[in-house]
Amino acid sequence: MGGLLIMIVAFIGYILMYQLYGKFIGRKIFNLSADAKVPSVEFEDGRDYVPTRKEIIFGHHFTSIAGTGPIVGPAIAIIWGWVPAMIWIFVGTVVMGAVHDFGALIISMRNQGKSIAEYTARYINTRTKIFFFLIVFLELWIVIAIFGLVIAVVFSMFPASVLPVWLEIPIAVYLGYLIYKKGKNVMTWSIIAVAVMYATVVIGYFVPLKMPTIWGIPPTGVWTIILLVYAFIASVLPVTTLLQPRDFINSHQLVVAMALLVLGVLFAAFGGSLHVVAPAIQASPAKAPPMWPFLFITIACGAISGFHSLVSSGTSGKQVRTEEDSLFVGYGSMLMEGTLATLVVVAVAAGIGMGYTTKAGETLVGISAWTTHYSSWAAAAGLGSKISAFVVGAANMIAALGIPKGFCIVIMGVFVASFAATTLDTATRIQRYVIAELFGDLKLTFLTNRYAATTIAVGSALVLAFVTGASGKGALTLWPMFGAVNQTLAALALIIITLYLQGRGGLKWMFSGLPAIFMSVMTIWAVVMNQAKFLGAHNMLLTVINICILIIAVWIVVEGVIKFFSSLGKAAPEPEPAAG
Give 235-294 pLDDT, tens digit per residue: 888 878 888 788 778 878 888 888 999 999 998 888 877 888 889 998 888 778 899 999
Highest mean pLDDT, choosing among 344-358, 456-470, 558-572: 456-470
Backbone angles phi, psi at 320, to 5 degrees: -65, 130
Three-state SS for 469? coil
CATH number, domain at 540?
1.20.1740.10
Q: Would 287 be classed as within a structural domain?
A: yes
Instruction: Decide: 80 and 285 in contact? Cβ < 8 Å.
Output: yes
- Structural domain including 221 reads 2-566
Within a domain: residue 579?
no
In a domain, 396, yes or no: yes
Residue range 103-138, pLDDT digits in tens: 999 999 999 888 887 788 888 887 888 888 888 888
Helix (H, G, I), strand (E, B) or coil at 44: coil
Of 336 and 365, the one with more pLDDT: 336
pLDDT tens for each residue of 169-187: 999 999 989 988 888 888 8
Dihedral class, residue 67 (left if φ above 0, else alpha if ψ from -120 to 50, else beta): left
Residue 580 counted as domain residue: no
3-state secondary structure 280-307: CCCCCCCCCCCHHHHHHHHCHHHCCCHH
Query: 48 vs 112, 168, 174, 239, CA distance in Å?
Result: 12, 22, 19, 6
Asked, for residue 407, whether it belongs to a domain, the answer is yes
Q: Are 444 and 114 in contact (CB under 8 A)?
A: no
How far apart are the two ends of the chain, measured CA to CA in Å? 61
Residue 108 lies in a domain: yes
State mean pLDDT over 420-432: 85
This prediction has a pTM of: 0.88
Q: Does some domain include residue 575?
A: no
Whether residue 148 lies inside any domain: the answer is: yes
- Determine the Cα–Cα distance for residues 409 and 356; give it in Å rounded to an integer: 13
Which residue type occupies 394? A
Q: Is 492 within 8 Å of 132 (Cβ atoms)? A: yes
Asked if 424 and 231 touch (Cβ cutoff 8 Å), the reply is yes
**Dihedral of alpha carbons 336, 339, 341, 343, sign:** negative
Q: Are 378 and 425 spatial neighbours (Cβ–Cβ below 8 Å)?
A: no
- Cα radius of gyration (the chain): 22
Non-local CB neighbours of 207 within 8 Å, separated by 6+ positions: 160, 163
Given a contact cutoff of 8 angstroms between Cβ atoms, the answer to whether 437 and 136 are in contact is no
Q: Say how many domains are in the chain.
A: 1
